[in-house]
Structure 1
C-alpha cells in the first residue's frame, strides 16, 4: 500500500511526553535511551497504571497518518518501540514491536479507560528496520507495520472519536530495565490510507 504525499518531520517538530534518559541525533536519525521501568498501561490483568513511557508527539488531525521507522536490539522482557497515538492518559494506542515470550512480537495495545493487548511473533524481524503507520480516518485508527520493504501487515483497527484532539509519534519504553537504545530513522506525516484493505 503506497503512501502518497507523506513528508518527513524534523525531530524538533515533536514534543516529548516523558523525556527519555538521553537523546542524540546521528545525521538525520534520533537515538533514544530509555529511563528505568517505563511503560504505558492501564489496569487490565496486571492491576497497575503506568503512563511514563517516552513519546515524541505531533498533532494527528482527522484524515492524516503518522509513520515511524526504527531499529532496536530488544533483549529484555517488554522492551518495546513503535508509534503512540494519544488523546489523553486514559485514551491511547501504542503499536510496534515488543519483546515477549522470548521473541520479538508485533502488536498493539488499545486503551479506553483500560488496556487490551494483541500480538503475533515476528522473530524474522529481529535486527531489521521496522516501520509502523497509524492512519486516522473517520471514527477509527488503522495500524500497519512491516520490516524493511516487505508487504504491509494490518495490525489493528480500533475506534477513535472523530472529534477528539489527538497527537502521535515515535515511542519507546522498557518496563523491566533502564537503557534500551532505539534508533529512530524516520518520522513522517501525511494523508491517511485511502482504504482499509490494500
Structure 2
C-alpha cells in the first residue's frame, strides 16, 4: 500500500477507465441513449450528493485554498463563477452530446460539511467497438485530505458507474505528478 504524507494534494490525478455496456444512439449521434443521472450515494462517512447550483455557496470555501491549484493551475472561483460553472455542469452533457457529465458534492456525515467533489466525464472511445471512456477526477479540501475521503468517494462513484452498466478494464491517464497521496487513492479505488 502506498503511504501519503500530510500536506500533499490528494486531488491531482485523473483516472481513465475503458468501459462497455451503454449503447450509442441508433441514429449515429454522438449522444448516449441510456445516460444515467447522478443519484445520492452514501458510504460509511460520506454522502455524495448530485451536483446542483445550490451547492455553490458551501463549495466556495472548499475550493478557496491555493494548494488545490499547484499542479492544475488556475485560481479559486468566486461564488458567481462557481454558480455559472455548476449551471453548465448540471445540464449533464456537452452541447453536441458527445460527453455526459456526472458530478457529486461530498458531504461528511459527521459534520454535514461539504468537503470536495468527484466527477466522471463519459464519452465514446476512439475504437469502432461500443466502448465508453470515463475520466474520473476528485478534489478534496486540504482540511480533509489524507484521511481516506478521496478513496472512499472515488470507490463509491466507480461502484455506482458499474451498477449503471459502465464497467470494464481500467487504465490511468496522468494529468499531474503522481504524488504518494494520489497514487494511494488510485490504488484503493481502482486497482
- Larger strand proportion of the pair: 1
Q: TM-score, normalised by structure 1?
A: 0.26
Larger Rg: 2
Q: TM-score, normalised by structure 2?
A: 0.27
Q: Which has the higher contact order (CA 8 A, sep 6+)?
A: 2
- Larger helix proportion of the pair: 2
